Amino acid sequence: MPEDAATLDGARVLVTGASRGYGAAIARALAAEGAYLIITATDTGRLASTAKACRALGAGGVECCSLDLADATSVDALTDAITTLVPRLEGVVLSAAILGARGPIADIAPADIEAAITVNVTHQLRLMQGLAPLMASGAGVVIITSGAASKPGRGAYGLTKGMLDVAADVLRAEWADRDVRVIRVNPGPLRTDMRAAVHPEEDPATVPPPSERVPPVIAVLKGADPGPCIQAAEWGLS
Ligand SMILES: NC(=O)c1ccc[n+]([C@@H]2O[C@H](COP(=O)([O-])OP(=O)(O)OC[C@H]3O[C@@H](n4cnc5c(N)ncnc54)[C@H](OP(=O)(O)O)[C@@H]3O)[C@@H](O)[C@H]2O)c1
């Protein structure tokens, strides 16, 4: 972390899934804190819009990197690019994810289950393995989870988010002696493309914008460690 853990000014932070939705909102909030951002997505055109907004908000620098979590080569290329850009990372936010195939998991084709596990679990971990040598002492890793994790009827998404939860908690225990905090954040329902895909009948105006659920992520990156998982909707409420 920077010397004063209450500031993110100049902190080097990777945010995946930053082209839209929650990842973009997190990137913008970090930019307003003066962080140096490495942001990723498959759609680098949309990512450029996030980068422009982040620069206008006062980011200490913004690098856009392509990342396709379906592709191991892309994951390794990102690790190489980050290693060239920075000697250390003070923060990582893993927001990128896919919904994958829907329905009871017994009805989902094995190839579709495998595809969702690859994006939402295997390559998230591959990325963390590649970044492990770069993680600064005191760094924070935020892994975005969901209320759907491990729940029946939530298709490949619920399955893979549950798997990622387990992986995050193992990583948290294994990296504790390196002083790297791994914390899951469940934002609750957010007004994003993903939510609209699951609930097309819903009036988006009734769902919180992603910016409302960013504060716990910022707090973790500033040094907070309230435990392995934060329910963002309850953050700051007593
Ligand atoms: N929305 C909700 O109500 C809600 C609730 C609980 C948890 N969450 C979690 O919050 C996080 C963000 O969700 P969101 O609602 O913001 O989703 P979203 O609007 O669908 O955005 C997903 C992001 O992930 C990126 N992405 C998708 N496929 C990718 C791939 N193969 N490789 C790399 N990046 C990829 C997308 O960019 P490109 O398409 O350009 O690659 C985009 O930036 C997710 O982890 C989700 O599980 C969301």
Which tens digits make up the pLDDT trace of 84-113? 999 999 999 999 999 999 999 999 999 999
Note the pLDDT of residue 236: 82
Residue 189 has pLDDT above 60, yes or no: yes
Task: Report the 10 Å Cβ neighbour count for 204.
Answer: 12
Domain boundaries of the chain, sorted by first residue: 12-234
The Å distance, Cα 94 to ligand 1 centre, comes to 9
Note the pLDDT of residue 6: 73
- The DSSP string of 115-153 is HHHIIIIIHHHHHHHHHGGGEEEEEEEEEE--TTTT-TT
* Ligand 1 site-directed mutation target among 190, 211, 217, 231, most atoms within 8 Å of CB: 190
For 172, phi and psi rounded to 5 degrees? Answer: -60, -45
* Residue whose CA lies nearest to ligand 1 atom number 41: 42
Residue 2 has pLDDT above 50, yes or no: no
For 12-234, the fitting CATH number among 3.30.200.20, 3.40.50.720, 3.50.50.60, 3.40.50.1000 is: 3.40.50.720
Over residues 45-53, the mean pLDDT reads 97
Residue 1 has pLDDT above 50, yes or no: no
**Mean per-residue pLDDT of the chain:** 96
- Closest atom of ligand 1 to CA, residue 119: 31
Pairing of strands 181-186, 61-66: unpaired
* Ligand 1 site-directed mutation target among 14, 16, 20, most atoms within 8 Å of CB: 20
In this prediction, residue 4 has a pLDDT band, given cuts at 50, 70 and 90, of very low
In this prediction, residue 238 has a pLDDT band, given cuts at 50, 70 and 90, of low
Note the pLDDT of residue 22: 98
**Ligand 1 pocket, 95 CB below 6 A?**
yes
